[in-house]
């Protein structure tokens, strides 16, 4: 038996290797003197200096599942509290994925389901496969910069903070607050 048998390789200096093949082997070695090139994502011109010009009243607010649940726990009327936070008309939007997520949660969350089916809430159809709501919301917010994302989920907030120009609405001290909103709009600062 052979232990640690290695594959035999021809040396680059072997006479059987042609000159042109030797040069290919030398090219493969990385040149450490050149600075490393990296691809930086391009942002739309509406985000000049991280300022989103597509935002403005009436505000379009994408709602996550846990935002509805925490609003119920804090005894907040969603639409009214949003208007109190932003001092303007707000249109809440619910995607099919979020709706499916609430329906999967069962009887415990029937109040949340009833609130989600409120006629004041606009429904956004989803065309992608799967029903993972976080991916759906991040994708939609990345494509269309006109939305404010309403969530309490830390991981989702962390993912959305990497996307410039997307404000995040969250719940603290039994009221709605907003972060990363331009100062020109009536969003309160706490």
Residues 160 and 150: their CA atoms lie apart, in Å, by 11
Could you read off the pLDDT of 128-176 as tens digits, one per residue? 887 688 999 999 998 888 899 999 999 999 999 988 888 999 999 999 9
Residues 105 and 84: their CA atoms lie apart, in Å, by 29
Contact 147, 140 (CB under 8 A): yes
> Domain residue spans in the chain?
58-179
Give me the count of residues in the chain. 190
Q: 59 - beta bridge partners?
A: 90
Mean pLDDT of 90-118: 92
Instruction: Give the architecture-level CATH label for domain 58-179.
Output: 3-Layer(aba) Sandwich (3.40)
- Provide the pLDDT for residue 67: 95
Query: Distances in Å between the alpha carbon of 120 and those of 92, 114, 189?
Result: 7, 12, 27
Residues 71 and 163: their CA atoms lie apart, in Å, by 25
Could you read off the pLDDT of 34-78 as tens digits, one per residue? 666 777 777 776 666 556 777 888 899 999 999 999 999 999 999
Residue 14's CB: how many other CB atoms inside 10 A?
Answer: 9
Contact 102, 109 (CB under 8 A): yes
The reported pTM is: 0.71
């Amino acid at each position: 038996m052979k232990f640690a048998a290695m594959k035999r390789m021809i040396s680059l200096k072997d006479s059987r290797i042609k000159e042109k093949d030797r040069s290919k082997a030398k090219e493969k070695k990385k040149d450490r003197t050149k600075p490393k090139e990296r691809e930086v994502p391009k942002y739309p011109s509406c985000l000049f200096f991280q300022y989103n010009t597509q935002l403005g009243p009436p505000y379009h607010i994408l709602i996550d599942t846990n935002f509805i649940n925490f609003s119920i726990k804090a005894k907040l009327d969603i639409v009214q509290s949003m208007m109190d936070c932003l001092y303007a008309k707000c249109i809440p939007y619910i995607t099919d994925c979020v709706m499916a997520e609430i329906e999967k949660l069962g009887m415990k969350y029937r109040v949340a389901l009833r609130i989600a089916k409120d006629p004041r809430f606009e429904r956004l159809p989803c065309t992608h496969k799967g029903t993972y709501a976080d991916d759906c919301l991040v994708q939609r917010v990345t494509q269309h910069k006109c939305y404010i994302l309403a969530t309490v989920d830390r991981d989702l907030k962390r993912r959305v903070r990497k996307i410039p120009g997307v404000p995040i609405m969250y719940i603290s001290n039994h009221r709605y607050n907003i972060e990363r909103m331009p100062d020109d709009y009536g969003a309160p600062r706490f």
